[in-house]
């Protein structure tokens, strides 16, 4: 007997072709913010698997993250220095919540532009999935739930109104940035792998795997249980681990560290046909160990994995390498990477 498909499992995206009379607040918000994964008025180049993949220099990724993470810190510092006023916890939450969302939205738009220039992975077989008809509201809600819950946690655990951004531990920051991604990925790896390997947990993760060719807006497209661990559980364990290591981890250092995390989460679901490593101050060590992660790694996790999978890490491949769950790259294989015609991450 055939099992009838659950309409909520559909990844079909046709709402942009329908009447706007059928749209709700979330449809109009996506349209107003112009965060569509692709521009339908522009072509997307298609490449065969063996065509060279442009390399993205690490410095351009660091530049992007540091530049945009520094802007809200600088505004906060200038405001408090010139007015003599500090931001209370609620004001700080609102300011950094606004900044966090603005940064993510800008990254999505940059990725769309790069997609129209360089194309997408597996583009010769399948185009990128759109925003599902049944999940428009879920996609929008995931953005502010992710940024809001993580910021609320960060403010609660580490924000002190009498400390300004200039007081952050600059000497510790490079190490904190590198370790934050590795430690977060340890907790994420085991929680993520358990979602696949432990039978009764799969139902909490399967929604995220409905997309085989994700786009940046599907980064947090998931069931509520997964949302909790992604948004709060894993970041909380990471913060507490680094504090246990004796690292300062003030709010401002956490902010910079987490901008690295969020940048990679969005980029990792972009499917861009670029060889872009997750930026890390310990990237040189991860590369030496064959444990660096590139865009294709998580893309393959979605495309070829389902109930059983591989490439469970999202910030590194360190734990995949140690525990034997790495998958060979296809388009980003070492011999297929173009280090001559590179593609730097643009700021604007």
Look at residue 34 and tell me if it is in a domain.
Answer: no
pLDDT at 153: 97
Cβ within 8 Å of residue 154, ≥6 positions away: 96, 235, 239, 251, 254, 255, 258
Per the structure, the count of domains in the chain is 1
pLDDT at 1: 41
Look at residue 26 and tell me if it is in a domain.
Answer: no
Beta strands in 127-278 (DSSP E): none
pLDDT at 226: 83
Q: How far apart are CA 115 and CA 270, in angstroms?
A: 9
β-strand partners of 55: 275
Cβ within 8 Å of residue 69, ≥6 positions away: 103, 255, 256, 259
> At 240, is the secondary structure helix, strand, or coil?
helix
Beta strands in the chain (DSSP E): 53-54, 337-338
20 contacts 111 by C-beta, under 8 angstroms: no
Look at residue 276 and tell me if it is in a domain.
Answer: yes
Q: How far apart are CA 112 and CA 242, in angstroms?
A: 35
Q: Which residues constitute the domain of residue 330?
A: 49-338
Q: How far apart are CA 60 and CA 77, in angstroms?
A: 25
Give Cα 258 distance to the centre of its chain: 10
The set of long-range contacts for 11-14, using a CB threshold of 8 Å and a minimum separation of 24, is: 11/129, 11/132, 11/210, 11/211, 12/132, 12/133, 13/129, 13/130, 13/131, 13/132, 13/133, 14/133
Look at residue 2 and tell me if it is in a domain.
Answer: no
Spatial CA neighbour of 46 closest among 300, 331, 348, 345: 331
CA atoms within 13 A on the CB side of 12: 9
Q: Quick one: DSSP state of residue 85? A: -
Look at residue 12 and tell me if it is in a domain.
Answer: no
pLDDT at 5: 62
Look at residue 177 and tell me if it is in a domain.
Answer: yes
pLDDT at 2: 47
87 burial type by CB count under 10 A (0-12 exposed, 13-18 middle, 19+ buried) = middle
Look at residue 345 and tell me if it is in a domain.
Answer: no
Look at residue 223 and tell me if it is in a domain.
Answer: yes
Q: How far apart are CA 167 and CA 197, in angstroms?
A: 44
β-strand partners of 272: 120
Helices 234-244 and 173-197 meet at what angle, rounded to 10?
A: 140
132 contacts 142 by C-beta, under 8 angstroms: no
Helices 234-244 and 136-158 meet at what angle, rounded to 10?
A: 20
Spatial CA neighbour of 176 closest among 110, 238, 86: 238
Three-state helix/strand/coil letters over 262-305: HHHHHHHCCCECCECECCCCCHHHHHHCCCCCEHHHHHHHHHHC
Q: How far apart are CA 123 and CA 112, in angstroms?
A: 14
pLDDT per residue rounded down to tens, the chain (348 residues):
445 667 677 889 999 999 999 999 999 999 999 999 999 999 999 999 999 999 999 999 999 999 999 999 999 999 999 999 999 999 999 999 999 999 999 999 999 999 999 999 999 999 999 999 999 999 999 888 999 999 999 999 999 999 999 999 999 999 999 999 999 999 999 999 999 999 899 988 988 999 999 999 999 888 878 888 888 999 999 999 999 999 999 999 999 999 999 999 999 999 999 999 999 999 999 999 999 999 999 999 999 867 788 999 999 999 999 999 999 999 999 999 999 999 999 999
277 contacts 60 by C-beta, under 8 angstroms: no
185 burial type by CB count under 10 A (0-12 exposed, 13-18 middle, 19+ buried) = buried
pLDDT at 229: 85
């Amino acid at each position: 007997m055939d099992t009838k498909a659950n309409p909520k499992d559909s990844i079909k995206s046709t709402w942009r072709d329908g009447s706007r009379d059928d749209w709700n607040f979330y449809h109009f918000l996506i349209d107003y913010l112009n965060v569509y994964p692709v521009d339908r008025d522009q072509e997307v180049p298609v490449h065969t698997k063996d065509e060279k993949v442009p390399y993205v220099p690490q410095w351009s990724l660091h530049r992007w993250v540091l530049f945009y993470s520094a802007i809200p810190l600088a505004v906060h510092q200038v405001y408090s220095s010139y007015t003599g006023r500090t931001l209370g916890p609620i004001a700080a939450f609102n300011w950094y919540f606004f900044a966090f969302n603005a940064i993510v939205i800008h990254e999505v738009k940059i990725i769309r532009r790069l997609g129209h220039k360089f194309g997408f992975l597996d583009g010769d077989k399948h185009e990128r999935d759109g925003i599902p008809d049944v999940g428009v509201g879920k996609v929008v809600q995931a953005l502010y739930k992710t940024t809001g819950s993580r910021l609320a946690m960060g403010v609660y655990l580490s924000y002190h109104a009498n400390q300004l951004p200039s007081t952050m531990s600059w000497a510790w920051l490079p190490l904190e940035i590198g370790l934050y991604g590795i430690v977060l990925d340890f907790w994420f790896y085991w929680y993520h792998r358990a979602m696949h390997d432990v039978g009764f947990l799969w139902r909490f993760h399967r929604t995220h795997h409905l997309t085989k060719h994700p786009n940046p807006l599907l980064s947090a497209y998931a069931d509520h249980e997964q949302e909790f661990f992604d948004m709060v559980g894993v970041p909380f364990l990471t913060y507490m681990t680094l504090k246990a290591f004796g690292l300062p981890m003030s709010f401002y250092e956490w902010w910079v560290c987490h901008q690295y995390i969020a940048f990679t989460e969005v980029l990792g679901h972009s499917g861009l046909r670029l060889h872009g490593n997750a930026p890390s101050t310990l990237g040189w060590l991860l590369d030496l160990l064959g444990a660096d992660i590139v865009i294709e790694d998580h893309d393959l996790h979605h495309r070829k994995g389902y109930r059983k999978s591989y490439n469970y890490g999202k910030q590194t491949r360190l734990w995949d390498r140690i525990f034997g769950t790495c998958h060979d790259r296809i388009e980003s294989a070492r011999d297929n990477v173009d280090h001559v015609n590179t593609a730097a991450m643009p700021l604007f």
